[in-house]
Structure 1
Amino acid sequence: MRAVRTAFEENFRERGELGAAVTVLVGGRTAVDLWGGWADAARTRRWERETLVNVWSTGKGPTALCAHLLADRGLLDLDAPVAAYWPEFAAAGKDGVLVRHLLAHRAGLAGLREPHSLEQAYDWELTCSRLAATAPWWEPGTRSGYHTLTYGHLVGEVVRRITGLLPGEFLAREVTGPLGIDFTIGLPEDQAGRAAELVQPPPPAASDHGALRARMPPLVLAALGNPPIDGADANTPEWRAAHLPAANGHGTARAVAALYGVLAGDRGVLSPGAAERVREGQGRCHDLVLGIGIPFETELGLGVWLSGEHGSYGPNPRAYGHDGFGGSFGLADPDAGISVGYVMNRMGPDLADDPRKRALIEAVYASLGTGA
């Protein structure tokens, strides 16, 4: 896959890459494993093979994996009401919200209505209790609206009610620990020395930022700005110590590729039927939250975004993956037998489909087509 190496190097020369890594698995075996650049903005630490980085929403796929594993074992019914596992959740007209609605961002709980600080988001019990008490923003099950931060608490609390473990603990016990996958929700203090420093893109001009916020409907403000989060938060000890399954997964590119491969059925963690269920489309629509930045309809599976006609994860419409804030992504294409993980520390401004991502994905599929 020489084309992938070429695209990876071009990301540094032409697309402003600082430090990054990419891994491609074909048939569960490593076909590409590249890393390079710098782990900090001052360029004093080289990006090493074992460098970890916060992958933001790329961690939503591994969070969804916890639910799929429980469903595969008969411990969770994806078509059951959430309140069957979390009784308090039935408040405020949510008794009909199904588990699959949580996985597909269709629960109507893309953000809390009351102000919720980042410090409060670190409090698992408080955040879950507020989510249980709040009313949906739209009729659950009818549309998708990206659950930016709430996703991890919603899916994760169902996992906790069944297993007694937070999702990161369950993932470590059942998947990453046994398989030796270098990925955690949050970051243990003794691993902080391996973490790359995230570098934010330049902020928009103050006047532009204010005008943009003024045009945003309340739902979008709640989903993307309550609590307000920027890239610098991920460099703090408080963020790393918290349990935020929607946003603070830490791992290597190899770990991301491995976990998206597990979602696709690699390593026998999920049965073939359960792995196929991951990409069960839940209906195309213009996302109620991300629609402000994505000018086309999208479709979610159960915890992942389908590549669809736009080809966000390659030319196979039924391939899938998940982007993370700033540019990281995980991808799986069970039909082609591949999974991909890409992580980086210089954050881009795009909500999805970062140019570095597109270049790498195009190179992967070009390699598959030519045997390069």
Structure 2
Amino acid sequence: MTGHPTVDGSVRPGWEAVREAFVQGQAQDPGHAQLAVHHHGRLVVDLWSTGAAATGTGGPGTGVPGPRPFGPDSVGVLMSVSKALVAVCAHLLSERGVLDLDAPVARSWPEFAASGKAETTVADLLAHRAGLPAFTADPGGTPLPGLLDAAARTRALAAMRPVWQPGSAFLYHALTYGHLVGEVVRRVSGRSVGRLFAEEVAGPLGLDLWIGLPQREEHRFVPQSAGPPPTAERIAAAVGGLGLAPDHPLGTSLRASAAEVAGVIEVLGHREGRAAGIPAAGGIGNARSLSRLYAALIGRVDGIRLLSPRTLELARTPHTDHLPQPAPLHRFDGPDRSRFGLGFELPRPGEPLLGTGSFGHAGAGGRLGMAHPESGLAVGYVCTAMTWEPSAGPDPRWVPWTTAVREAAGLPVPA
């Protein structure tokens, strides 16, 4: 540690303990962070922490001229928190009757029926059950499209053969999720998922959230700092430990997924990557807007409610608890395996969110958005230092303030 972080912002009466807990959680964090909490649609916590060390600098090709001041209006990378933004768009279209989540994807995207995917449903995409957990090269030798070639990547997914029978197992679709659900959104709405989100969600609510950061907002962007990405050797060793043959489709997918997440972290450090609107991981925003989004999912915020109670209930209902992970990963199933609703993560020991009944989505490095409908809580947390290691349990930065938020709202706190 190089010094103590500076915490600023405000809390409403009755929420003072959250400030103290946020200070505690950020005490060892060299980066910057924001925490916002809405309670029954009202902003009750709006805090930000300026780390002792700058977490990002600009330079040639980054689109960022140098170290940036950090505050409540700063915006940063959301990583997989972005998946919830995409899910909101799908649920909006479902409510309007233009998208049937139980219908085959091929109904709106005919090319997707290729290679045994004719019966794959939109719900399979949202719940990570589609058997397409990573972008992989065609066995015939066709090279994999570049990270920012969205059209080519979408075509590749349409042609790809699933790693498992869709609907029979689940595994996190780290990057493919965004292109899969995003293409369905585009097919039925005529708009990219980034444009639909901007026009139907962020605009009406006044959110500083984007899937594709506009040039005019670049001056507010604060870069992230990432730890060293896994090396190819480490990835290969981990996959080899599963006992998979070198050419096993699941092993190929796992290696590809890990490598591509590292690639996305790199590309989001450049203006081109932030503008591209990578839907599974490239969202940009701040905690205040993330919390406001979740508040509008569970209730009214300035007269706006995004989803009906019925749609919300469907979104947070478990859709993978009854399924195994694909073989041989099923051997490692345990109490802390991932849990998914339709487009959202559900609480588990390593990512408890706000407890039973809550839903949300975490992002690589420690970002987090979540809500608990019964208590009226909605929370956004955005950080610049990517320090969370999911296999080790909850991010230590979350633990103090999550407890304080639950106590302030009268929710039970785990022993």
Q: 1:25-64 residue pairs with structure 2 within 5 A?
A: 25-38=38-51, 40-41=55-56, 44-64=67-87
Determine whether 1:305 maps to 2:345: yes
Residues 69 and 92 from structure 1, CA distance in 2 versus in 1: closer, same or farther, beyond 3 angstroms?
same
Report if the CA contact (8 A) 1:24-1:32 is conserved: yes
| Segment drifting more, 298-307 vs 323-332 | 298-307
Q: Retained in 2: the 8 A contact 1:146–1:223? A: no
2:26 maps to 12
Q: Which moved more, 1:91-100 or 1:197-206?
A: 197-206
Change (3 A) 1:11 1:308: closer
Seen in structure 2, the aligned counterparts of structure 1 residues 303 and 213 have a Cα distance that, compared at 3 Å, is same
- For residue 166 of structure 1, report the CA deviation from its aligned partner: 0.5
SS of residue matched to 1:191:
helix
Is 1:243 equivalent to 2:281 in the alignment?
Answer: no
State the secondary structure of the residue aligned to 2:101: coil
Q: 1:332-364 CA distances to partner (integer Å, 9 max, x unpaired)?
A: 100111110000100014137322123332221
Counterpart in the other structure of 1:2: 16
Distance in structure 1 (CA, Å) of the matches to 2:401 and 2:349: 18
Deviation at 1:262, TM superposition (A): 2.8
* Other-structure match for 1:142: 168
Choose which of 354, 357, 366 in structure 2 pairs with 1:314. 354
Identical pairs, percent: 38
Corresponding position: 1:274 with 2:325: no
Q: 1:342 maps to what in 2?
A: 381
Greater Cα offset, 285-294 or 87-96:
285-294
CA distance in 1, matches of 2:287, 2:94: 27
Q: How does 1:1-372 map to 2 (within 5 A)?
A: 1-14=15-28, 16-38=29-51, 40-41=55-56, 44-114=67-137, 120-202=146-228, 211-212=237-238, 214-215=240-241, 217-226=251-260, 228-229=262-263, 231-266=265-300, 267-284=304-321, 285=323, 287=325, 296-308=336-348, 312-315=352-355, 317-351=356-390, 353-369=394-410
SS in 1 for 2:386: coil
- More displaced 10-residue stretch of structure 1: 41-50 or 282-291: 282-291
Per-residue CA deviations over 1:220-249 (Å, capped at 9, x if unaligned) read 213322475263432111211212110110
Greater Rg over alpha carbons, structure? 2
Amino acid at match of 1:91: A
The CA distance in 1 between the partners of 2:32 and 2:162, in whole Å, is 40
8 Å contact from structure 2 (residues 135, 144) kept in 1:
no
Inter-CA distance 288–193: structure 2 relative to 1 (3 Å threshold): farther
Note the alpha carbon deviations across 1:101-137, whole angstroms, 9 max, x for none. 0111111111122179897231121010000000111
Deviation at 1:144, TM superposition (A): 1.5
Q: TM-score w.r.t. structure 1 length?
A: 0.90
Task: Mark the CA change 1:133 to 1:208 in structure 2 (over 3 Å): closer, same or farther.
Answer: closer
Gaps of 5+ in 2: 1-14, 58-65, 243-250
**Which ranges in structure 1 are unaligned for 5 or more consecutive residues?**
none
Q: Which deviates further from its counterpart, 1-10 or 321-330?
A: 1-10
The structural deviation recorded for 1:154 is 0.5
TM-score normalised by L of structure 2 = 0.81
- Which range moves more in the overlay, 27-36 or 217-226? 217-226
Q: Is the 8 A contact 1:62 1:260 kept in 2?
A: no
**Alpha-carbon distance change, 3 to 339 in structure 1, aligned in 2, over 3 angstroms:** same
Partners in 2 of 1:123 and 1:244 — Cα distance? 10
Say which SS state the counterpart of residue 326 (structure 1) adopts.
coil
Runs of 4 or more, structure 1, over 6 Å off, are: 115-119, 204-207, 289-295
Report the alpha carbon displacement of residue 314 of structure 1 after superposing the two structures with TM.
2.4
Cα deviation for residue 142 of structure 1 reads 1.7
* In 2: Cα distance, 1:344 partner to 1:223 partner: 23
Q: Work out the CA distance in 2 between the residues paired with 1:370 and 1:243.
A: 36
Moved more, 212-221 or 100-109: 212-221
Q: CA deviation at 1:297?
A: 2.9
Indicate the structure with greater helix content. Answer: 1
Deviations 1:169-189 (A, max 9, x none): 001111111111110002112
8 Å CA contact 2:127–2:320 kept in 1: the answer is no
Contact kept in structure 1, 2:316 and 2:346, CA below 8 Å: yes
In structure 2, the residue corresponding to 1:158 is in which secondary structure? helix
The answer to whether the 8 A contact 2:17-2:404 is kept is yes
SS at match of 1:245: coil
1: CA distance, partners of 2:288 / 2:315: 21
- More displaced 10-residue stretch of structure 1: 49-58 or 292-301: 292-301
CA distance in 2, matches of 1:24, 1:117: 45
How much is the aligned-residue C-alpha RMSD, in angstroms? 2.8
Change (3 A) 1:265 1:223: farther
Amino acid aligned to 2:318: G
- Aligned-partner Cα distance in 2 for 1:294–1:223: 22
For the 8 Å contact 1:22–1:33, the answer to whether it is kept is yes
Cα distance in 2, alignment partners of residues 348 and 337 from structure 1: 29
- C-alpha change, 1:319 and 1:86, in structure 2 (3 Å) is same
1:157 to partner: Cα distance: 0.4
